[in-house]
Amino acid sequence: MSHLSPASLLVWAIITTLLGTFLFFHLWSFDRFKCLRWNRKSGAFKRIMTYSYLLTIPLIASYPIGLSAIKYYEGFVALPVYGIIPKPIELWRPLSRRFNLPLTLCLSVGWSLEMVTHLEELCFWLFLINAGSSQQSWFHSFYFKTWVVGSIVAVTYMPVITALTHSDPLKSEAYTFLAGSLGSLSLTLWFTPILLMFPSFLRNLRKEGVDTNTIVRLTKFSELNMIRIFFRFLFTVPLLILGIDGARPHHHINESMFWTDLLVMVAGFGCAISSAITLVIFFPRSVEGEIAARDERKRSRSGHTDAYDASLCESPNDFTRTKITRHSTHTFNYGTPVLNSKLLLISSPKTNVQAGMDDLSDQNHSSAVRVMCEPVRTGSIDKCWADEEQDALASLPPLRPNRKKGDDIELATIHQMTESNVAKLNIRTSNVNRMVHNFTSPIDLAYNGQQSGRTWLSFNKS
């Protein structure tokens, strides 16, 4: 605000800058910014939620960054009654005063988009907790319509209040903070019952046989949301105090530099940390998946070298190297070639190696020995022995006879379902909404639940 000290705005600007840095780092680690691409597969709803939230951070950050630059540019002034204070907006240069309204509008628009994000989470979790398995569509529910109406109201009333009061900059700032903090605080208070209902909701999911990985993700979401609600209170309550005091005729708190700076700094920390947690909830990273993808990239890079080694084995100009490499590096004392601990029923490699040795001249004998002792990469071994490996017999599960237990007969079973497949099978008979079983993040849930009822099952051999 225009009467705040430059130091308090600078602290808020530094925090929001760090938040923007964390945004780029997290999205790069998440999927290399693929989630920002405009494609039809993501759906209109997910695109709206993604871009509205990502626009929130730079719009809110522009307010403290711009005002801190203006405040340091304008400096301080000495007044007879108040002493040395930051220069009031009435004494600013015309260029600086022209930036006040655009910066306040950026804050109001960004704040309204943030309310859209939190209203979507509120309505969606109310839908999931209260809806059974029979109601599958989020887009046809009452909660979705509530979110649409509430989003239109939030995006409309915030900029309108800022524009209507722009003639008095101090009043415009006060009413902007008052309107935004009231909207965000009401959403935060409405979200607290969901946190209280979540433990019983998780217990019900366990009884219904929901997959363990889904339970873990929902538990993590609940814990992160509790932390985020705390910082949401730190963001909204201080600004609500400043807004109420600024709208009154007598400004007891806003005239104290200590209280105004303290409240603004606390609000800045609350805004940045709660927004960072929202980013983690919307785009949850899977460290296990990232490690697997990194290992896959390493294997793909090493695959080129393996392919080159395989081409050496198949080179017609180096027949001797082919023979010796294929057989001597896989031959033990008994002359039985082994590949991946599987015995291959082929001709004895001793004979082939001896035949290859007979073709060598005396002058190439030493080089042939080096070839025999040369280690061969595992990838090239697999490629050279690809044809022989196809002849290896696959391990079959043991056959189990039917057993008689009393008057009943227990039929033999060959396959056994995994725990994840049991959870998939329980979806058909569960009383929980289908979208819960496919939980990844609040903006992905709406599309995961619209999949068809087909269940693809795989079995473990026993």
Q: Look at 379 and 209; give whichever has higher pLDDT.
A: 209
pLDDT in tens, 151-175: 999 999 999 999 999 989 889 999 9
- Spatial contact of 17 and 411, defined as CB atoms under 8 Å apart: no
C-alpha distances in angstroms, 57 versus 62, 108, 271? 9, 12, 10
Q: What is the largest CA-CA distance in the chain?
A: 110
155 Cβ partners below 8 Å, 6+ apart? 109, 112, 113, 116
Q: Where is average pLDDT lowest: 63-72, 182-191, 377-386, 410-419?
A: 377-386
Q: Mutual orientation of helices 94-130 and 44-74 as an angle, nearest 10°?
A: 150
408-410 and 415-417 strand pairing: unpaired
pLDDT in tens, 243-274: 999 998 888 898 888 999 999 999 999 999 99
pLDDT in tens, 87-97: 988 899 999 99
Q: pLDDT band for position 332 (50/70/90)?
A: very low
Sign of CA dihedral 327, 333, 337, 338: negative
Residue-level pLDDT at 162: 94
pLDDT in tens, 24-79: 999 998 888 888 887 776 678 888 888 999 999 999 999 999 999 999 999 988 88
- The single residue listed with the structure tokens 């294997």 is 299
Reference 135, options 403, 408, 373, 449; nearest CA is 449
> In angstroms, rounded to a whole number, what is the distance separating the alpha carbons of residues 422 and 370?
55
pLDDT > 80? residue 325: no
Three-state DSSP state, 331 = coil
